[in-house]
């Protein structure tokens, strides 16, 4: 995604400078060409040599040295960037830019660029809450600069609160989003992901092997493409993607409640969750002891079919389901497409190599409501997610014409 992109990484002086080193590493790994500008204060924390070694490009620090180059340094850096990222962005840097001050290489270059600019603030919580700082941040946003929310936690100064530089992986995700074409802007995409858990007693449950990876990949991809994303997830080991609206649920009935809450706001509903079809008719309030019986009989009752319910009240929304099968893949998927009133179903045979529950790849077929079908080769779940969103976008366009 970042392959060949030119990023100017502006580093100003705060303890979080060490995290900018990790961010640079992630950018380089993702294929970006990174040019680092450091303020004088930033160099007190980490030397330019570290950034130079990792970026493979000279680190820029001085305004006037660069004036002596053939190209005017700050202008050439400003012009060649696809994106500017200021991480960490101190209160001082943000204050200067908000006040239109350009008194060093970094502030001059920010002022001169026409590329999108992302500020990633990191500072003491009291500074972050200071009304003067807040006004400065609002000023930046009002003229189109992007500003990320700092993370919450223990700060280097000993205070606890907002002000930590966000995780470099989250800054990377935000960077990708800013550089990605925003072809789903204006859409609200509701995605369900992962398994559900149906309680037997306080220590046991019925569930399935779903990892949630496919649904999370779709949520991430839709977010990258500019959509507002509501991700409703059953229990998984995955870290909730940054920037989207995230709701954790346990059972199928909990998932149904949260889906109902947000369904009306969504223009696109994608049900990638592996909802448990049955739950114990009576969950025991106390732990079931094995002395009680040699043959434990569980009576199961059917869970609501959340997707079928959505299909009955679809309105203008696009409704997409998944069919993970072991037998008669296309017949079963076609039946679900019809019975649940879907626009598109993503079918995969979970016994096929590279298409199972806990792997990073998938082999899928798309079945459309008009009867057309498409078979895709083995792809990463991220690629499948984008391929699916491409088809959804096409369906939207067809509907609007």
Q: Which residue has the tokens 């049900």?
A: 271
Instruction: Report the C-alpha gap between 133 and 45 in whole angstroms.
Output: 23
Least gap, CB of 331 to ligand CTP (angstroms) = 11
Q: Which residue has the tokens 């970026």?
A: 55
Closer CB to ligand CTP, 225 or 271, in the complex: 271
Least gap, CB of 147 to ligand CTP (angstroms) = 36
Q: Which residue has the tokens 């999370």?
A: 216
Instruction: Report the C-alpha gap between 234 and 67 in whole angstroms.
Output: 57
**Candidate list 156, 157, 185, 375, residue with the active-site label:** 157
Q: Which of 163, 195, 234, 321 binds ligand CTP (CB under 6 A)?
A: 321
Closer CB to ligand CTP, 74 or 197, in the complex: 197
Least gap, CB of 271 to ligand CTP (angstroms) = 4
Least gap, CB of 252 to ligand CTP (angstroms) = 6
Asked whether the bond before 248 is cis by omega within 30 degrees of 0, the reply is: no
Least gap, CB of 44 to ligand CTP (angstroms) = 53
The answer to the question of residue 231 lying near ligand CTP (CB under 6 A) is no
Print the binding letters for residues 298-317 with ligand CTP: x by CB under 6 A, - otherwise: -----x-xxx----------
Question: SS3 of 80, please?
Answer: helix
The answer to the question of residue 168 lying near ligand CTP (CB under 6 A) is no
Near ligand CTP by CB under 6 A, which window of 98-106, 228-236, 320-328, 378-386? 320-328
Helices (H), 167-237: 168-179, 213-224
DSSP summary character for residue 122: -
Q: How far apart are the first and last CA of the chain?
A: 31
Which is nearest to 18 in space by CA: 118, 117, 88, 86? 88
Q: Which two tokens stand for residue 375?
A: 């078979």
The beta-strand segments (E) located in 278-386 are 278-280, 300-302, 318-325, 344-349, 361-362, 365-368, 373-375, 379-380
Any residues with CB less than 8 A from the CB of 91 and at least 6 apart, and which? 121, 123, 127, 128, 130, 133, 136
The answer to the question of residue 206 lying near ligand CTP (CB under 6 A) is no
Closer CB to ligand CTP, 305 or 383, in the complex: 305
Least gap, CB of 306 to ligand CTP (angstroms) = 3
The answer to the question of residue 97 lying near ligand CTP (CB under 6 A) is no
Closer CB to ligand CTP, 350 or 376, in the complex: 350
The answer to the question of residue 322 lying near ligand CTP (CB under 6 A) is yes
By rule CB under 6 A, what count of residues binds ligand CTP? Answer: 14
Closer CB to ligand CTP, 27 or 216, in the complex: 216
The beta-strand segments (E) located in 126-253 are 146-147, 151-154, 160-164, 188-193, 198-201, 204-206, 228-233, 245-248
Q: Which two tokens stand for residue 73?
A: 């340094």
Which is nearest to 145 in space by CA: 90, 97, 76? 97
Least gap, CB of 71 to ligand CTP (angstroms) = 55
Q: Which of 277, 284, 355, 383 binds ligand CTP (CB under 6 A)?
A: 277
Print the binding letters for residues 331-350 with ligand CTP: x by CB under 6 A, - otherwise: -----x--------------
Q: Which of 165, 173, 252, 385 binds ligand CTP (CB under 6 A)?
A: 252
The answer to the question of residue 273 lying near ligand CTP (CB under 6 A) is yes
Could you confirm whether 157 is annotated as catalytic? yes
Least gap, CB of 292 to ligand CTP (angstroms) = 30
Closer CB to ligand CTP, 32 or 307, in the complex: 307
The beta-strand segments (E) located in 142-182 are 146-147, 151-154, 160-164
Which is nearest to 230 in space by CA: 253, 249, 211? 249
Catalytic residues: 157
List residues binding ligand CTP (CB under 6 A).
252, 271, 273, 275, 277, 303, 305-307, 321-324, 336
């Amino acid at each position: 995604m970042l392959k060949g992109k030119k990023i100017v990484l502006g580093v100003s002086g705060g303890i979080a400078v060490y995290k900018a080193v990790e961010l640079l590493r992630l950018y380089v790994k993702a294929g970006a060409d990174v040019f680092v500008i450091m303020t004088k204060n930033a160099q007190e924390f980490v030397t330019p040599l570290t950034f130079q070694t990792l970026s493979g490009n000279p680190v820029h620090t001085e305004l006037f040295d660069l004036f002596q180059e053939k190209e005017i340094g700050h202008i050439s850096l400003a012009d060649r960037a696809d994106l500017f990222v200021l991480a960490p962005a101190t209160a001082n840097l943000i204050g200067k830019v908000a006040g239109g001050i350009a008194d060093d290489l970094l502030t001059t270059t920010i002022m001169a660029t026409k590329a999108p600019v992302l500020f990633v603030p990191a500072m003491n919580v009291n500074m972050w809450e200071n009304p003067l700082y807040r006004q400065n941040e609002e000023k930046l946003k009002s003229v189109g600069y992007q500003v990320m929310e700092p993370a919450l936690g223990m700060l280097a100064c000993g205070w606890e609160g907002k002000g930590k530089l966000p995780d470099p992986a989250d800054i990377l995700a935000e960077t990708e989003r800013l550089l990605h074409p925003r072809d789903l802007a204006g859409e609200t995409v509701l995605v369900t992901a992962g398994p559900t858990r149906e309680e037997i007693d306080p220590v046991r449950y019925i569930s399935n092997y779903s990892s949630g990876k496919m649904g999370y990949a779709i949520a991430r991809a839709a977010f990258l493409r500019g959509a507002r994303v509501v991700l409703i997830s059953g229990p998984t080991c995955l870290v909730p993607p940054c920037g989207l609206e995230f709701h954790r649920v346990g059972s199928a009935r909990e998932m149904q409640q949260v889906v109902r809450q947000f369904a009306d706001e969504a223009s696109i509903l994608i049900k990638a969750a592996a909802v448990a079809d049955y739950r114990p008719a009576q969950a025991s309030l106390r732990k079931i002891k094995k002395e009680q019986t040699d043959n434990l009989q569980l009576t199961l009752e059917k869970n609501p079919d959340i997707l079928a319910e959505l299909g009955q009240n679809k309105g203008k929304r696009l409704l997409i389901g998944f069919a993970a099968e072991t037998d008669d893949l296309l017949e079963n998927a076609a039946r679900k497409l019809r019975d649940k009133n879907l626009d598109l179903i993503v079918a995969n045979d979970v016994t096929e190599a590279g298409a199972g529950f806990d792997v990073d790849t998938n082999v899928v077929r798309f079945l459309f409501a008009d009867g057309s079908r498409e078979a895709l080769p083995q792809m990463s779940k991220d690629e499948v997610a984008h391929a699916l969103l491409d088809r959804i976008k096409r369906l939207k366009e067809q509907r609007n014409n």
